[in-house]
């Protein structure tokens, strides 16, 4: 059985689109792995067809122009390939900001942490008017709501957040959804009336039926898990 056919059968279990487009996707994935490139001129030779390279190139152009992934199917495929740890998945929220010509592309992403890397699960594109590129509470909640449609809160061990993802309304929303989180803090951030730097690594303070742990470093981390 060819590699293309094996991959096609695996993708078929998760995606609902038609056979020709699924075949194109299978060949694209194999082409990117083998060439380590995303140049369509190179990838068109990996399409399983007797058509000319020029025809194959136009087919790939149409593929990217006309076809949209169903995000739920893509997310469930990702989850099916990552075994859930005993304590649940560790997630990471982050942004990536880059330019295509003069256009800024700012993507807010939620990924599954696997060792030292994070595999994207769901994401949203932030508007051009986003202040300083940072996301706001509404956008973060929108992203998490997408994730919770395919990954229940009980299967999430912790959501890791850098300091730009602070905010009372946002963190309270996570509490209400029973999503545990680990948030990076500045050392002068007030936690239960004290600066984070005053907490020792072994200190545990019970606040609002949750556990709080502060680790000393240049920037501190606040770890909160819902009880149970």
- Domain chopping of the chain, boundaries: 3-68, 83-226
Average pLDDT, the chain: 82
Confidence band, pLDDT 50/70/90 cuts, at residue 208: very low
DSSP reduced 3-state for 87: coil
Find the helix or strand (DSSP H, E) in which 119 lies: strand 117-126
Q: How much is the pLDDT for 76?
A: 92
Dihedral, CA of residue 140, residue 97, residue 117 and residue 218, to nearest 10: -80
- Sign of the torsion angle spanned by Cα atoms 226, 115, 150, 141: positive
Q: How much is the pLDDT for 51?
A: 80
- Sign of the torsion angle spanned by Cα atoms 134, 94, 148, 213: negative
Domain 83-226 adopts which CATH fold? Transposase Inhibitor Protein From Tn5; Chain A, domain 1 (3.90.350)
Q: How much is the pLDDT for 223?
A: 53
Q: How much is the pLDDT for 222?
A: 54
Give the global pTM: 0.76
Confidence band, pLDDT 50/70/90 cuts, at residue 129: confident
Higher local confidence (pLDDT), 197 or 216:
197
**Percentage of the chain lying above the pLDDT 70 cut:** 85
> Cα–Cα distances in Å, from 20 out to 3, 27, 34, 65, 108?
17, 11, 21, 15, 31
Q: How many helices (H) and strands (E) does the chain have?
A: 7, 10
18-44: per-residue pLDDT in tens? 888 888 888 899 999 999 998 998 888
DSSP reduced 3-state for 187: coil
Find the helix or strand (DSSP H, E) in which 45 lies: none
Q: What is the mean pLDDT of residues 54-61?
A: 90
Q: How much is the pLDDT for 205?
A: 42
Q: How much is the pLDDT for 210?
A: 42
> Rounded distance, CA 11 to CA 6, Å?
9
């Amino acid at each position: 059985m060819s590699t293309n056919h094996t991959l096609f059968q695996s993708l078929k279990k998760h995606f609902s689109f038609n056979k020709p487009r699924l075949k194109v996707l299978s060949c694209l994935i194999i082409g990117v792995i083998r060439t380590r490139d995303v140049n369509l001129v190179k990838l068109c030779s990996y399409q399983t067809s007797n058509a000319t390279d020029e025809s194959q190139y136009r087919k790939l152009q149409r593929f990217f122009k006309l076809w949209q992934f169903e995000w739920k199917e893509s997310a469930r495929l990702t989850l099916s390939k990552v075994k859930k740890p005993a304590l649940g998945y560790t997630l990471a929220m982050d942004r990536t900001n880059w330019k295509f010509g003069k256009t800024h592309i700012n993507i807010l992403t939620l990924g599954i942490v696997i060792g030292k890397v994070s595999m994207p699960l769901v994401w949203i594109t932030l508007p051009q008017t986003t202040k300083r590129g940072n996301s706001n509470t509404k956008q973060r909640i929108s992203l998490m709501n997408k994730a919770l449609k395919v990954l229940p809160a009980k299967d999430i061990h912790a959501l890791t957040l850098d300091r730009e993802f602070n905010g009372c309304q946002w963190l309270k929303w996570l509490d209400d959804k029973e999503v545990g989180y680990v948030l990076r803090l500045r050392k002068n951030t007030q936690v239960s009336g004290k600066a984070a730097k005053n907490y020792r690594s072994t200190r545990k303070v019970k606040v609002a039926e949750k556990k709080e742990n502060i680790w000393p470093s240049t920037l501190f981390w606040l770890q909160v898990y819902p009880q149970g």
